Structure 1
Amino acid sequence: MAAPSQDLRTRLKTFGKCVCDGARLMIGQGDYGAYVAHIAKTHPDLPPMTEREFFRNRENARFGVGNKSGFRCC
């Protein structure tokens, strides 16, 4: 059996990234790379959060930390 073509490998890699990105979004974890690109484009005067700060920020938003109405799961 012949090895998959480069085009097929590229398409599978892209599909895998989409699946992983979708799974992260479903559990409330955004894409850090997309966040950094957004900050650089729209707020060039602000330093981006570190990856650890970004993760914590998304976790806090997901679970309603700091939300005056209490715990929020959805």
Structure 2
Amino acid sequence: MARLFSFNDLSTVGKYLGQAARQMVGVPDYATYVRHRRITHPGLPIMTELEFFRNRQDARYGAGRSGGCC
């Protein structure tokens, strides 16, 4: 009997499901950012994963806000 899925297929599906879930809750994908920078902007600096996370967090919630809704 032939296998329907290989481990590689399941791994790929899991990767894409995880990426989709992060995007749905507003968490951008660092690997996608790095790939984009290397292809589209070669030679320019690439943020570390922590810098990227803070950058995206600041962009979403506003840098320097004191908290609360207003």
Q: Normalising to structure 1: TM-score of the pair?
A: 0.69
Write the letter of the residue equivalent to 2:15.
K
RMSD across aligned positions (CA): 2.6
* 1:43-64 C-alpha deviation (Å, 9 max, x unpaired): 1131100110001011112213
* Partner residue of 2:45 out of 31, 47, 62: 47
Matched letter for residue 56 of structure 2: R
For structure 2, the 5+ residue unaligned runs are none
| Count of residue pairs brought into register by the alignment | 66
The equivalences for 1:27-66 within 5 A come to: 27-65=25-63
Q: Distance in 2 between matches of 1:11 and 1:52?
A: 30
1:24 aligned partner: 22
Alignment gaps of 5+ in structure 1: none
* Aligned-pair identity (%): 50
Q: TM-score, normalised by structure 2?
A: 0.72
Deviating beyond 3 angstroms after TM superposition, the runs of 4 or more aligned structure 1 residues are none
